[in-house]
């Protein structure tokens, strides 16, 4: 029996605050809640604060709700951070774990009770370094990391690989990220939580469905903000930005110079300021 590394998901907030100089007067009000989807599955989420959520955060592929912890601490607003289907503590998806349309239906089931009028579920939309223009080629480095070994013999090995693929992040933040996003087996090895629902090999390219979402952009009527990381790790390019503005001329675009794809990890305070100003 290998030595198990203890994990308490609510114990790392002081580290998040300290790393970015966020005042910390004590543990924030955060609880984990399961939201039934009506078909035997449920989505898990972190509920920040006691009041009705003002913001809903959705992470990217192979991540989980804790990716927003530092942003949430900086905002200090009631919000909901959801583990998408097949990620974190949520049950598996109806289709692929990155199928946007079926996942969106599951997410709507979760946030609808917090909205007074269901058709108005989204009053403002913030896209964090993503557009329907994302492709497997643009996200190759990220995909190479995600599609790595099925398991790792030790925490040191999973940490070393994570550091290799995330050169802009501190070791302490990556260590926290692994503890939130992976689990240790009784033999001491480590596996990513999102690998539980890995799609079958040889199936359709999951990125194909993303390109169809450009038509959704055409119909958006709420304020839209794109926050784009400008380091090479970003998956958004100039053509994506131009296409977004062509289809949604009222959209606002903000460039974060010191961030790659993970703006919430590289520049969480700047991201929090942008969100706070855009969604009053």
Identify the pLDDT of residue 142. Answer: 87
Considering all CA atoms of the chain, what is the largest pairwise distance in Å, rounded to the nearest integer?
59
Rounded Cα gap, residues 180 and 238, in angstroms: 33
If one counts every other C-beta atom within 10 angstroms of the C-beta of residue 232, the result is 10
Identify the pLDDT of residue 206. Answer: 60
Q: Are 177 and 162 in contact (CB under 8 A)?
A: yes
Task: Give every CB contact of residue 96 below 8 A, 6+ residues apart in sequence.
Answer: 199, 203, 206
Identify the pLDDT of residue 207. Answer: 66
Q: What are the residue ranges in the chain where pLDDT is below 70?
A: 1, 95-98, 114-120, 198-208
Identify the pLDDT of residue 195. Answer: 77
User: Burial letters for 96-126: b for 16+ Cβ neighbours within 10 Å, e otherwise?
Assistant: bbbbbeebeebbebbbeeebeeeeeeeeebb
8-state DSSP, 3: P
Q: Are 64 and 193 in contact (CB under 8 A)?
A: yes
Identify the pLDDT of residue 149. Answer: 93
* Phi, psi (rounded to 5 degrees) for 58: -120, 125
Identify the pLDDT of residue 209. Answer: 73
Long-range interactions of 139-143: CB distance < 8 A, separation 24+: 139/207, 139/235, 139/261, 141/165, 141/233, 142/61, 142/62, 142/233, 142/235, 142/261
Identify the pLDDT of residue 6. Answer: 93
Identify the pLDDT of residue 42. Answer: 96
Rounded Cα gap, residues 46 and 80, in angstroms: 6
Identify the pLDDT of residue 47. Answer: 97
Which CATH topology does 13-278 take?
Rossmann fold (3.40.50)
89-136 residue pLDDT tens: 999 988 665 678 888 899 999 988 765 334 467 889 999 999 999 888
Place of tokens 């604060």: 49
């Amino acid at each position: 029996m290998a030595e198990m590394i203890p994990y308490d998901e609510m114990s790392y907030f002081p580290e998040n605050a300290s790393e970015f100089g966020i005042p910390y007067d004590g543990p924030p009000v955060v609880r984990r809640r399961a939201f039934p989807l009506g078909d035997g599955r449920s989505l898990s989420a972190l509920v920040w604060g006691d009041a009705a959520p003002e913001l809903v955060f959705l992470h990217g592929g192979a991540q989980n709700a804790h990716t927003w912890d530092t942003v949430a601490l900086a905002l200090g607003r009631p919000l909901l951070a959801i583990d998408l289907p097949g990620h974190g503590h949520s049950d598996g998806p109806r289709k692929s774990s990155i199928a946007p349309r079926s996942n969106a239906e599951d997410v709507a089931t979760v946030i609808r009770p917090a909205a007074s009028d269901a058709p108005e579920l989204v009053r403002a939309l913030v896209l964090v370094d993503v557009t329907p223009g994302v492709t497997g080629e643009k996200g190759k480095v990220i995909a190479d990391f995600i599609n790595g070994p099925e398991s790792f013999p030790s925490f040191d090995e999973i940490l070393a690989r994570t550091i290799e693929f995330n050169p802009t992040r501190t070791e302490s933040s990556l260590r926290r990220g692994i503890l939130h996003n992976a689990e240790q087996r009784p033999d001491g090895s480590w596996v990513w939580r999102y690998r539980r629902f890995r799609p079958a090999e040889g199936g359709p390219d999951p990125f194909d469905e993303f390109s169809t979402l450009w038509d959704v952009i055409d119909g958006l009527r709420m304020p839209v903000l794109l926050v784009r990381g400008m380091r090479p790790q970003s998956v958004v390019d100039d053509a994506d930005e131009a296409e977004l503005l062509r289809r949604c001329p009222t959209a606002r675009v903000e460039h974060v110079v010191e961030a790659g794809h993970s703006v919430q990890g590289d520049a969480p305070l700047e991201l929090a300021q942008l969100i706070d100003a855009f969604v009053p």
